Amino acid sequence: METKKEFTAMDFLTFTVAGNVVVTDPVTGKEFLCFRNPDNTFTDSRDNQQLKAEEIYALVELRIEQAHKMDAEIEARAAQEAAAQQTPPPPPAPSAPSPSGETAPPPPPPTGTASAPKFCGNCGAPLMDGSKFCTKCGTPVG
């Protein structure tokens, strides 16, 4: 089973020698720079917004949460699609009752195809190729 690494904001922050911070957005993977100011605040290179270090950290933590939610949604959709592909087709509808009140056997399979399924003439259960008896009711085949 695969284990996922839990990321923290520090995984997305790189500090330069000059004290600037390179931030990698956890959702988009794009980087942006926050320039360090003399008063130990930072200026976001994208919009010139003044930020404190704690605000940069909180912003990255929020984006990590958003990335987790997006991953969970993607995994849920993939699981739904996989389940939909594995769902067997619905069973055939029961035969209409005959005038005497008994149900009629299912119609015979189309002829001329080697892979057409065979059905029991007594109960209508599908038969395995080469079967001599119905596995559901035991009636001899053929």
1 has pLDDT over 60 = no
113 has pLDDT over 70 = no
Question: Phi then psi for 120, rounded to 5 degrees?
Answer: -65, 135
Mean pLDDT score of the chain:
82
pLDDT band at residue 112 using 50, 70 and 90 as cut-offs: low
**Residue 108's pLDDT is what?**
65
**Residue 31's pLDDT is what?**
93
What is the per-residue burial (b if ≥16 Cβ within 10 Å, else e) of 13-34?
beeeeeebbebebbeeeeeeeb
Average pLDDT estimate for 34-43 = 94
pLDDT band at residue 33 using 50, 70 and 90 as cut-offs: very high
76 has pLDDT over 80 = yes
Alpha carbons 4 and 83: distance in angstroms, whole number: 23
pLDDT band at residue 128 using 50, 70 and 90 as cut-offs: confident
Average pLDDT estimate for 13-42 = 92
- Burial classification of residue 42, based on how many CB atoms lie within 10 Å of its CB (0-12 exposed, 13-18 middle, 19 or more buried): buried
